[in-house]
Amino acid sequence: MHDLLFLVHRIPFPPNKGDKVRSFHLLRHLAQHYRVWLGTFIDDPDDGRHVDEVRRFCADVYCAPLEPRRAKLWRMRGLATGEPLSLPYYRHAGLQAWIDRVVAEQRIERVLTFSSPMAQYLRCPPYDRLQRVMDFVDVDSAKWAQYADGKPWPLSWIYRRESQRLLAFERAVAQEFAASVFVTEDEAALFRRLAPEIPAERVLAVSNGVDTDYFNPEREYPNPYSAAEQVLVFTGAMDYWANVDAVDGFARTVFPDIRRAAPDSQFYIVGARPAAAVQDLADLPGVHITGTVPDVRPYIAHAAFSVAPLRIARGVQNKVLEAMAMGKAVLATSAAMEGIGASPQGGAEGILVADDPVTLAQQALALLANREETGQRGCGNRAWVLRHYDWDINLSRMAAVLE
> What is the rounded distance in angstroms from the CA atom of residue 235 to the CA atom of residue 243?
9
Highest CATH level, class, for 230-388: alpha beta
CA distances in angstroms from 112 to 17, 133, 177, 192, 248, listed in the order given: 20, 5, 10, 20, 36
For 335-359, what is the mean pLDDT? Answer: 84
Q: Give residue 104's region: left, alpha or beta (phi > 0; psi -120 to 50).
A: alpha
Q: What's at 176, amino acid-wise?
A: E
- Residue 75: its pLDDT value, please? 67
For 366-385, what is the mean pLDDT? Answer: 91
- Please say whether the dihedral angle defined by the alpha carbons of residues 58, 60, 62 and 63, taken in this order, is positive or negative: positive
> What is the rounded distance in angstroms from the CA atom of residue 99 to the CA atom of residue 292?
34
> What is the rounded distance in angstroms from the CA atom of residue 313 to the CA atom of residue 58?
32
For 358-368, what is the mean pLDDT? Answer: 97
Listed in sequence order, the residues at least 6 apart from 81 whose beta carbon sits closer than 8 Å to its beta carbon are 88
Three-state secondary-structure class, residue 137: strand
pLDDT digits (tens, 9 = 90+) for 280-298: 999 999 999 999 999 999 9
Three-state secondary-structure class, residue 42: strand
Buried-state track 212-250, b at ≥16 Cβ within 10 A, e below 16: beebebeeeeeebbeeebbbbbbbbbbebebbbbbbbbb
- Cβ proximity of 319 and 343 under 8 Å: no
The enclosing H or E element of 110 equals strand 110-114
Q: Which CATH architecture has domain 2-206?
A: 3-Layer(aba) Sandwich (3.40)
- Residue 345: its pLDDT value, please? 64
Domain ranges of the chain: 2-206, 230-388
- Residue 82: its pLDDT value, please? 87
Say how many CA atoms lie within 13 Å of 173 toward its Cβ. 28
> What is the rounded distance in angstroms from the CA atom of residue 173 to the CA atom of residue 112?
13
- Residue ranges of the alpha helices (H) in 107-219? 140-149, 155-176, 185-194
Q: Other CB atoms closer than 10 Å to residue 193's CB: what's the count? A: 8
Rg over alpha carbons for the chain, rounded to the nearest Å, is: 21
pLDDT digits (tens, 9 = 90+) for 297-331: 999 999 999 999 999 888 889 999 999 999 999 99
Q: What percent of the chain has a predicted confidence (pLDDT) above 90? A: 82
Mean pLDDT of the chain: 93
> What is the rounded distance in angstroms from the CA atom of residue 364 to the CA atom of residue 129?
55
- Residue 402: its pLDDT value, please? 93
Among 58-72, 81-95, 139-153, 232-246, name the one with the lowest average pLDDT.
Answer: 58-72
Same CATH fold assignment for domains 2-206 and 230-388? yes
- Residue 20: its pLDDT value, please? 94
- Residue 399: its pLDDT value, please? 85
- Residue 327: its pLDDT value, please? 96
- Residue 329: its pLDDT value, please? 96
- Residue 248: its pLDDT value, please? 97
Counting Cβ atoms within 10 Å, is residue 59 exposed (0-12), middle (13-18) or buried (19+)? middle
Q: Other CB atoms closer than 10 Å to residue 73's CB: what's the count? A: 12
Provide, for the chain, the percentages of residues in helix, strand and coil under a 3-state DSSP scheme, each rounded to the nearest 5.
50, 15, 35
Q: With 70 as the cut, is the pLDDT of residue 74 above it?
A: no
Q: With 90 as the cut, is the pLDDT of residue 17 above it?
A: no
Higher pLDDT, 278 or 346: 278
pLDDT digits (tens, 9 = 90+) for 167-215: 999 999 999 999 999 999 999 999 999 999 999 999 999 999 999 999 9
Q: What is the pTM of this model?
A: 0.90
- Residue 326: its pLDDT value, please? 97
